[in-house]
Structure formats: structure tokens, C-alpha cells
Structure 1
Amino acid sequence: MTLDPGTLFDDDGSAPVLHAGPDDYASQPAGNAGNRIACGVIVRP
């Protein structure tokens, strides 16, 4: 992930979610990646 202008920050904000396993890049919505183990909110300083 990058914090460059125009990439992560948009009008409704950003919230990354860390899952216990890898994304299978096929299943939706979370790529069959297992439980959510951490999350956060990214705001502009």
C-alpha cells in the first residue's frame, strides 16, 4: 500500500483490513483469507 496523493486517500476515507491468511484472488468479498485480525482507519494529517 502507498500513501501517495491520489492513491489511498479518497472522498470517503480508507480502512485497511489484515486477514489471517492469503487472498485467493477469486472468492468475494475477502478472498477466502480467513478471519480479520486487525483493521484501522487512515486519515490525512
Structure 2
Amino acid sequence: MFKLVTWNIQSGRSPDGATEIDRIIACLDRFCRFDMLCVQEVSTWPDG
């Protein structure tokens, strides 16, 4: 069975305010197995 997951990542910010899209995607991969992941509100911001 094909599994499609969609998730709103709210601009890719972690709870501490850093932009860590890779960390968020890894967390989603541990949360559930999927064949295709669609993320919403993907953005990168300069850390500063």
C-alpha cells in the first residue's frame, strides 16, 4: 500500500528557533513510514 503523508512544518523552525529542515524530516521519518512526504510552509531563514 502506498503511504502519502502531508505535514505543515511552520517555516522549518525548530523549537529553539533554528532552521533545521533536515532534523524535522528525520523526526517525521521516525514518527511514521511513508512513500511520499509532502511538507507545507517550507522556508529557510538566515540564522542569526
Greater helix share, structure number = 2
Scaled by the length of structure 2, the TM-score of the pair is 0.27
Scaled by the length of structure 1, the TM-score of the pair is 0.27
Greater strand share, structure number = 2
Query: Which one scores higher on RCO, CA 8 angstroms, separation ≥ 6?
Result: 2
Looking at CA atoms only, which structure, 1 or 2, has the larger radius of gyration?
A: 1
